[in-house]
Each structure stands twice: as C-alpha cells, then as structure tokens.
Amino acid sequence: MNFSLIGALQILFKILIFPGLLFVVVIGLFLAGIDRKLVARMQKRVGPPLRQPWFDFLKLLGKETIVPHAANKAVYLAAPVIGFTGLVVMALFIPVFGYSTFSGNGDLIVLLYLLTIPAVALIIGGSASGSPYAGIGISREMVTMMSYELPLIIILLSVARKVGGSALCFSLGQIVNWQASNGCLAFHPALIPAMLAMLLVIPAEVGTQPFDVAEAETEICEGPLIEYSGAPLAVFKLNTAMKMFIMTALFTNLFFGGVSTASLIGAGIPAIALDAVIMVLICIVVTFLSMSLIHAITARFKIEHLFKFYWTVVAGLAALSLVLVWFGL
C-alpha cells in the first residue's frame, strides 16, 4: 500500500511537474521570450523582457471571455483545453535523454499523431467560432498541416531505419540509447539532409513567420483565433509556446540524443538536472536557428507557395536522407 502510494505520487510528480506540465509550460514560455528577444535584436529593436510571454498569459487570463453569437459554445470553449491536454501528454512521451515518464515508450507514430491534436483543436475551435475569417484560417491551417506532415513522416522513417537497421524501431527511447553508444545522428552524413528538413518543419508546426499563413495577423486577423478572448485565448497562446519546446525537444532527441551526462557522472538526480539543462540549451540553439533567424530574415509565404515548398524542397531533403539511409550510408 505504502509502496503504491509512493509510486502514485511519483507518477503524479512526473505528470504535473517534471517532465510534464510545469516544466513544459515554464520552458515553453521561456523559449517564446527568447525568440521574441532574438528577433527584436536582429531587427535592431530592444525587444520585450524575457518574462513578457508570462505577463501576456496572466493578463489574458484576467480578461473577460466572449462567446460569439454564431459559435457552438461547448466546442468553442473546450477546444483550447483539448489542445493543451494533447501537448502535456506529448511532453510525457518525449524523454529528457534517458529520463522519461514511461520507460522505453515514446513511439514515433504515436507522437506524430499526438502532434496533430493541438492543430486539430485550433481548427475545431476556430471553426466552432463561426467567423468567416476563422473559416479562411482553418483552411490554411489544414493545408499547412498537409504540407509538413509528408516531410515529417519521411524524417521519422529515415531515423527509424538508421537506428533499427533491419528491425522495426519506432521507440524514441531506443533512438536516444542508440545515439548514446553510436554518436549523435546529427553527425551521420546520411541524416544531415533530414536534420535540415526537420529544422524547416519546426517553424511550420509551431506556426511562426514565414509559415504563419493560418494566423496572418495582417490579412485575416489571426484566423482561427479571431473570436477568442480571455482565458481560452491565453491557453491557445500557451499552446504555441509549449509547442516550441516540444518540437525543439523532439529535434534534440532525434538528432542530438547522445549527449546525455548520465554516462559521465552516473545516474541520479544531479545527472537528470544536468541533462535537463543541456537539453534546454540545445533547444535554445534550435529555436534560434529554426524559428528566430528565419523569422527575422523572411516575409510570409502565400499558402500555395508554402505547400509547394514543403512538398518539393523539404520533402526532397527528407527523401534524400531516406534513400541514403536505405542503401546503407
């Protein structure tokens, strides 16, 4: 009885604090702050303080929530929470190097589908608001999703083939362990195109410029989010920040999974803490490369160009990796 109580508390700790809810929220908002600061500096602005996403979030929580006349109230209010839930669950499947909530779990296909839940929540919420701008926005969001899903699956298959060889391997935990003994996948030449493709998939998945066609503030007034206000909007903004961390963490595990410190100083709390710090540092670098830098130097795509770009350039890079890996490089 005593044992199971401790076990339950441990699981609860993992779900609510680390590596679950609290960790993802804090790091996500931190990354969002860093992203804004970096973009501002590159554009020769001072930029907001790092805590600005927190302030925005808390401010929105205190605002009134308005449900439009044409909206389906239940779906409209539930959508942000479903997206949020999907993201927290996904965080539990992504290991901090060796440490994860479910040991050995983290199936890539499950992750691929969990990734769609926040996007679907945004789409359903926007659709339920009844606004014509949201209608245009969800259409674009869906096309964006179709665009990046093709390269993403090819990237995941390349990694799975490289790690598994002639056996089926979709476990993220296994991929991290393989890298710990065989070196990071980022340094295997065959997977460099896939890594570049992944760097381009992240901004589309998160929805930062130039891939933010779905929310395009200047054309369709944030698309699916147009009618949202108050707490639901706060949760949607939080979702975007969390997605930043989850996508960069996924990238880290896929391509830099071998830099765990556990082998150096042995297992235990300090090793996990150090791992977490290293992970966040890599996430910051990835955020800079894939989101801030591209954001600062480009202007928004048109939706048909975005689709074409992902299905030709990005999918082409990913496919190149798959072919190279397939023939044993």
Partner 1 sequence: MSYIHFPVIAVMTLFMGAFLTVVLGRHSKGVRSFIALAASCVSFALIAMLVKPVMIDGEIISYWMGNWAPMSGYAIGIGYEVDQLGLFFALLVVTTILLSAVYSIRYIEKDSSQDFYYVLFLMLSGSVLGLVMTGDVFNMFIMIEIMTFTAVGLTAFRNTSFGAVEAGFKYLVIGSIGSSFTLFGIAVLYGQCHTLNMAQLSAMLYGNHSPATLMAFALMFTGLAVKSYIVPFHTPAADAYTTAPSSISMVFSGMVNKAGVYGMIRLVYIIFRTVDMPSVQTLIVLFGTVTMFIGVTMALAQHDFKRLLAFHSISQIGYVITAAGLCTSLGLSAGLFHAMNHTLFKGLLFLCAGAVLRSTGTTNLDQLGGLSKRMPKTTLCFLVGAFSISGLPPFNGFASKWLVYQAAYEKAVTTGNIFYAFVTVTAVVVSVMTLASFIKVTQAAFFGQLPARLADVEEAPGLMLLPMYIMSLLCVGTGIFYDKVYQYLLDPAVRAAFTVSNYIDRMMGDGYAEAAGVEDVFASNPHFSYWNPVIWLALFVIVFCAAYICVVTSKGSRGQILSDEGGAEDGKYATFFSGEKALPSHVAGSDLFWGFKTDWKGYFRVMEGLHSGIVNDYALYVVAAAAFVVVFTFAFLR
Q: Which stretch binds partner 1 (CB under 8 A): 31-39, 46-54, 223-231, 248-256?
A: 223-231
Based on the shown chain and the rule CB under 8 A, indicate whether residue 322 belongs to the binding site for partner 1: yes
Shortest distance, position 307 Cβ to partner 1, whole Å = 5
| Contact yes or no for 172/159 (Cβ under 8 A) | no
Q: Cα separation of 203 and 221, whole Å?
A: 20
Q: Which of 159, 256, 307, 321 binds partner 1 (CB under 8 A)?
A: 307
d(CA 126, CA 80): 10
- Spatial separation of the C-alpha atoms in residues 94 and 74, rounded to whole Å: 31
Residue among 175, 227, 288, 317 that touches partner 1 (CB under 8 A): 227
> Is residue 234 a contact residue for partner 1 (CB under 8 A)?
yes
For partner 1, give the closer residue by CB, 26 or 112.
112
Taking the least distance from each CB to partner 1, the nearer of 109 and 277 is 109
DSSP string, 250-265: HHHHHHSTT--SHHHH
Closer of 47 and 164 to partner 1 (Cβ): 164
Q: Minimal distance in Å, beta carbon 312 to partner 1?
A: 10
By CB under 8 A, is residue 26 in contact with partner 1? no
Close Cβ partners of 312 (under 8 Å, ≥ 6 residues apart): none
Least distance (Å) between residue 131 CB and partner 1: 5
Q: What CA–CA distance (Å, rounded) separates 172 from 94?
A: 7
- Of residues 2-21, those binding partner 1 (CB under 8 A): 15-16, 21
Within residues 51-110, the interface with partner 1 by CB under 8 A covers 61-70, 72-73, 75, 77, 80-82, 84-85, 88-89, 92, 102, 105, 107, 109-110
The reply on whether position 256 binds partner 1 by CB under 8 A is no
Q: Which is nearer to partner 1, 263 or 312 (CB)?
A: 312
Cβ(293)–Cβ(166) under 8 Å? Answer: no
Q: Is 128 in the site for partner 1 (CB under 8 A)?
A: yes
Give the footprint of partner 1 on residues 179-198 (CB under 8 A).
Answer: none
Q: Does 168 bind partner 1 (CB under 8 A)?
A: yes
Length of the chain: 329
Q: From the list 133, 211, 251, 256, which residue makes contact with partner 1 (rule: CB under 8 A)?
A: 133
Q: Do residues 127 and 120 lie in contact, with contact meaning Cβ atoms separated by under 8 Å?
A: no
Q: Of 160 and 241, which CB lies nearer to partner 1 in the complex structure?
A: 160
Burial class (CB within 10 angstroms; exposed 0-12, middle 13-18, buried 19+) of 7:
exposed
- The β-bridge partners of 96 are 99
Tell me if 313 contacts partner 1 by CB under 8 A: no
239 binds partner 1 (CB under 8 A): no
Using the rule CB under 8 A, which residue among 34, 38, 94, 120 binds partner 1? 120
- Dihedral pair phi/psi, residue 99, rounded to 5°: -100, 120
Decide: is 153 part of the binding site for partner 1 (CB under 8 A).
yes
Among 100, 131, 179, 252, binds partner 1 (CB under 8 A): 131
Which region among 30-38, 46-54, 142-150, 193-201 touches partner 1 (by CB under 8 A)? 142-150
Secondary structure letter of residue 49 according to DSSP: -
Angle, nearest 10°, between helix axes 73-93 and 108-129?
Answer: 160
Of 41 and 305, nearer to partner 1 (C-beta) is: 305
Q: What is the DSSP letter of 107?
A: B
What's the number of CA atoms in the CB half-sphere (13 Å) around residue 236?
A: 27
- For 122, 165, 242, 253, the CA distances from 86, given in Å and listed in that order, are 12, 31, 11, 19
Nearer to partner 1, 206 or 234 (CB): 234
Decide if 80 contacts 243 (C-beta within 8 A).
no
